[in-house]
């Protein structure tokens, strides 16, 4: 189990690191006279969507950058200072950022805390396929293990997220209402085109080939939305926090891969590439190019934005599963 942020320690760290602007009340107020709202997005995929809606009217800081895993993230003292000074903090929720609760309890930052998945009906953990949380029962009030947090893999959910971001930015900075509304409308138009494009590409893949094997259980919403089956995952968990799978689990997964006759399995940009490579080798299937799952790719990569990441994923999936085995 990973060490948790202890509220007391957190308060101490803030006191220590933040002899900062005792005069930072400006950050907590509605900006005026050309001040720019400072917003935080917890992870890179969300950061991109916030940037699209906020445009030039907001300053966006992303805490967990490209290629970095939010499930296992430990905030640094500098991150906590940033959080305490933000006007709005955007988070995915559904147990994706378990370290945020402790921060809010101890630091009680003044900015609005916005869960962007509000209004989306989450998938329950374990829905339709075998998932778990490493066997650990969730704490009371702890959403980890109860819901599947990976909602962004269904583009229809990204539309809801964009609407939630727009509403929160309007509340924080009413002077820029029309700008946020126009940016959100344009983003939603792009997302609708993206969704249609994904469906067109998936339609070229015979139904019986729409079977995914990945390292952790991140594609539940994608599977539900676009007609795939998640055949199995190496970690057997909604969180990449789960420990390495046992030899028996791996053997069972390889058996499943062989029985299903899939030509390829998939690794993720947030880790476990070596594990997936060895499973692919043992099952005698291809390891497809790495998918962007819980984080964007670095700038200049095919997964540098949300739209690019989704396009890259669907193209990788359709090509790899369409190949003859
Ligand atoms: Zn994940």
Q: Dump pLDDT digits (tens) for 138-175.
A: 444 456 668 999 999 999 999 999 999 999 999 999 99
Per-residue pLDDT of 97-112, as tens digits, reads: 988 988 888 888 889 9
Which pLDDT does position 20 carry in this prediction?
A: 39
- Residue 226's CATH number: 3.40.50.1980
Do residues 78 and 157 both lie within one domain? yes
Residue 5, pLDDT above cutoff 60: no
* Partners of 212 in beta bridges: 230
Q: What is the pLDDT of residue 106?
A: 85
User: Ligand 1 centroid to 149 CA: how many Å?
Assistant: 7
How many domains does the chain fold into?
Answer: 2
Of 193, 223, 244, which residue constitutes the final position of a domain? 193
Last residue of a domain, one of 193, 214, 245: 193
Distance 132 CA to ligand 1 centre (A): 12
Average pLDDT, the chain: 86
- Domain final position from 193, 220, 240: 193
Distance between Cα 64 and ligand 1 center (Å): 13
The residue range of the domain holding 80 is 7-193
* Ligand 1 centroid distance, CA of 90 (Å): 18
Greater model confidence, 74 or 306: 306
Nearest to 232 by CA among 259, 268, 256, 248: 256
Q: Are both 159 and 213 inside the same structural domain?
A: no
232 CA to centre of ligand 1 in angstroms: 14
Once rounded to an integer, what is the mean pLDDT over residues 263-268?
97
What separation in Å is there between the alpha carbon of 277 and the centre of ligand 1? 19
Q: Find out whether 122 and 97 touch, Cβ atoms under 8 Å.
A: no
**Is residue 217 a part of any domain in this protein?**
yes
- Give 45-77 as a DSSP string: HHHHHHHHHHGGGEEEEEEE-TT--STT----H
The model's pTM: 0.86
Give a yes or no: residue 24 inside a domain: yes
Whether residues 164 and 100 share a domain: the answer is yes
pLDDT at 2 > cutoff 60:
no
128, pLDDT greater than 70: no
pLDDT band at 237 (very low <50, low <70, confident <90, very high): confident
Is 208 in the same domain as 189? no
Distances (CA, A) of 11 to 7, 8, 115, 212, 308: 6, 5, 23, 44, 39
1 falls within a domain: no
31 — pLDDT class (breaks 50, 70, 90):
low
* Residue 325 confidence (pLDDT): 64
Lowest mean pLDDT among 89-93, 247-251, 263-267: 247-251
Same domain, 181 and 256: no
How far away, in angstroms, is 98 Cα from ligand 1 center? 12
Q: Is residue 198 part of a domain?
A: no
């Amino acid at each position: 189990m990973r060490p948790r942020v202890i509220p007391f320690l957190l308060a101490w760290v803030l006191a220590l690191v933040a002899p900062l602007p005792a005069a930072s009340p400006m950050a907590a107020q509605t900006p005026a006279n050309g001040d720019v709202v400072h917003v935080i997005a917890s992870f890179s995929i969300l950061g991109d969507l916030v940037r699209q809606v906020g445009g030039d009217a907001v300053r966006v800081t992303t805490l967990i950058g490209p290629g970095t895993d939010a499930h296992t993230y430990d905030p640094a003292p500098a991150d906590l200072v940033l959080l305490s000074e933000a006007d709005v903090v955007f988070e995915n929720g559904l147990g994706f950022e378990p370290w945020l609760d402790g921060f809010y309890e101890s630091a009680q930052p003044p900015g609005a805390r916005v869960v962007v998945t509000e209004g989306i009906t989450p998938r329950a953990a374990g829905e339709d396929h075998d998932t778990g949380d490493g066997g650990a029962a969730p704490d009371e009030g702890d959403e980890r293990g109860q819901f599947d947090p990976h909602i962004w893999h269904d583009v229809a959910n990204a539309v809801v997220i964009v609407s939630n971001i727009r509403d929160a930015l309007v509340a924080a900075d009413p002077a820029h209402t029309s700008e946020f509304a126009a940016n959100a409308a344009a983003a939603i138009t792009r997302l609708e085109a993206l969704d249609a494009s994904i469906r067109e590409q998936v339609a070229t893949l015979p139904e019986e080939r729409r079977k995914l094997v990945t390292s952790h259980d991140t594609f539940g919403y994608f599977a539900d939305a676009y007609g795939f089956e998640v055949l199995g995952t190496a970690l057997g968990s909604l969180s990449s926090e789960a420990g390495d799978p046992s030899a028996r689990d791996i053997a069972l997964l390889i058996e499943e891969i062989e029985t299903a006759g899939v030509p390829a399995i998939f690794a993720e940009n947030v880790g476990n590439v070596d594990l997936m490579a060895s499973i692919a080798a043992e099952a005698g299937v291809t390891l497809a190019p790495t998918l962007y799952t819980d984080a964007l790719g670095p700038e200049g990569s095919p997964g540098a934005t949300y739209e690019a990441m989704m396009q890259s994923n669907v193209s990788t999936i359709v090509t790899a599963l369409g190949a003859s085995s």
